């Protein structure tokens, strides 16, 4: 008999206990705002994002010339990210793009880790199975375990990339970077220069095709890792029922590391995409 339950498993590491069929690929609709469906992943993303904003506000408060401990922690993290990003995108584009790149990193990191919190996947609709309550429709689902969320992140990143390269590099520099002949005419014969021009033109077409597939690769790389981690944790709970509070523990630590790595990879890939064109001239000067 199905019923609604607000259930958090007693095991301190329990964050996922969906029905025996495994983790659903699609997010579950919790309620509707008019005709617009609100899914469990959307609810989680809103709550986690609000929590992140409140945490930063609590740590920093009103910025001071002599920083408080909380402000010092935040500034140290920001400084570390700056040290990673600035050499890649270049000084000219660093400050305009920092809001995007740092935002992507923190947003993805927190949402990757949100799936490890107790209650995520264990609060919702369910039914009794073999004398224990099994969740079949969780009310809380990690935001990045939803393909719609990772697609939105990829589209925002790529639209912002277009804006940055057009504004700070220009159409002429973009065309030259993709299709221009990289050989010096004075160093090779006219025949070789012409043949290389055809080759670089073909390479430019391939480059454009690869750029078109960037949103796809960014979307499925992040979704695959987060959804795969959720499925793995689910399997560990059911693999040996007698050890369901112990067996998943090593995988939780692994998911903490994977969540960090995936946030870094996403941020660094977008940084490289921007730097390949916008940082090109600065690299030549050095």
Q: Structural domain tally of the chain?
A: 1
Average pLDDT over residues 3-15: 37
pLDDT at residue number 219: 93
Helix (H) or strand (E) holding 31: strand 29-33
Spatial contact of 234 and 23, defined as CB atoms under 8 Å apart: yes
Task: Give percent of the chain with pLDDT exceeding 70.
Answer: 77
pLDDT at residue number 273: 93
What whole-number distance in Å separates Cα of residue 86 and Cα of residue 244? 45
String of DSSP letters for 210-272: HHHTHHHHHHHHHHHHHHHHHHHHHHHHHHSGGGTTTTTHHHHHHHHHHHHHHHHHHHHHHHH
Spatial contact of 263 and 109, defined as CB atoms under 8 Å apart: yes
Residue 124 has pLDDT above 90, yes or no: no
Residue 281 has pLDDT above 80, yes or no: no
Per the prediction, the chain carries an average pLDDT of: 79
Sign of CA dihedral 45, 51, 54, 55: negative
What whole-number distance in Å separates Cα of residue 94 and Cα of residue 271? 9
Residues 220-254 as b/e (b if ≥16 CB within 10 A, e otherwise) read ebbbebbbebbbbbbebbeeeeeebeebbeebeee
Helix (H) or strand (E) holding 132: strand 132-138
Q: Which domain holds residue 126?
A: 3-285
pLDDT at residue number 26: 76
pLDDT at residue number 133: 57
Tokens of 225: 């890792």
Q: Name the residue with higher pLDDT: 21 or 237.
A: 237
Span of 11-25, 94-108, 159-173, 181-195 with lowest mean pLDDT: 11-25
Average pLDDT over residues 117-130: 64
Residue 88 has pLDDT above 60, yes or no: yes
Q: Is the full-model pTM beyond 0.85?
A: no
Residue 25 has pLDDT above 80, yes or no: no
Q: Categorize the per-residue pLDDT at 179 as very low, low, confident or very high, splitting at 50, 70 and 90.
A: confident
What does each C-alpha distance from 215 to 21, 47, 119, 221 come to in angstroms?
A: 30, 26, 31, 10
The closest of 142, 165, 164, 143 to 152, measured between CA atoms, is 143
Average pLDDT over residues 130-154: 77
pLDDT at residue number 260: 92
pLDDT in tens, 207-259: 889 999 999 999 999 998 888 887 787 777 777 666 767 777 888 888 889 98
pLDDT in tens, 30-87: 777 888 888 888 888 888 888 888 888 888 877 777 777 878 888 888 889 989 999 9
What whole-number distance in Å separates Cα of residue 123 and Cα of residue 56? 27
Please tell me the chain's helix, strand, coil percentages from 3-state DSSP, rounded to the nearest 5.
65, 10, 25
Q: For the chain, give the longest Cα–Cα distance.
A: 82
Residue 6 has pLDDT above 50, yes or no: no
String of DSSP letters for 167-212: HHT-HHHHHHHHHS--S-TTTS-HHHHHHHHHHHHHHHHHHHHHHH
């Amino acid at each position: 008999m199905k019923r609604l339950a607000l259930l958090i498993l007693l095991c301190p590491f329990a964050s996922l206990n969906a029905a025996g069929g495994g983790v659903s690929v699609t997010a579950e609709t919790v309620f509707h705002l008019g005709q617009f469906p609100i899914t469990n992943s959307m609810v989680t993303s809103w709550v986690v994002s609000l929590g992140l904003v409140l945490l930063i506000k609590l740590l920093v408060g009103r910025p001071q010339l002599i920083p408080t401990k909380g402000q010092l922690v935040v500034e140290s993290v920001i400084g570390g990210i700056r040290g990673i990003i600035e050499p890649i995108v270049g000084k000219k584009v660093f400050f305009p793009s920092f809001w995007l790149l740092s935002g992507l990193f923190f947003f993805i990191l927190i949402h990757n880790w949100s799936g490890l919190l107790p209650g995520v996947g264990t609060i919702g609709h369910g039914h009794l199975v073999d004398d224990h309550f099994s969740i079949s429709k969780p009310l809380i689902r990690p935001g990045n375990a939803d393909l719609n969320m990772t697609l939105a992140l990829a589209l925002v990143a790529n639209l912002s990339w277009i804006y940055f390269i057009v504004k700070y590099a220009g159409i002429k520099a973009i065309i030259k970077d993709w299709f221009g002949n990289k050989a010096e005419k004075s160093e090779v014969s006219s025949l070789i220069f012409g043949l290389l021009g055809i080759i670089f033109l073909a390479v430019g077409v391939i480059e454009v095709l690869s750029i078109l597939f960037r949103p796809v690769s960014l979307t499925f790389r992040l979704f695959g890792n987060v959804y795969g981690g959720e499925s793995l944790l689910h399997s560990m709970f059911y693999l040996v029922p007698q050890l369901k509070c112990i067996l998943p523990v090593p995988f939780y630590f692994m998911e903490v590391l994977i969540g960090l790595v995936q946030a870094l990879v996403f941020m660094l890939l977008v940084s490289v995409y921007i730097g390949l064109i916008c940082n090109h001239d600065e690299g030549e000067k050095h």
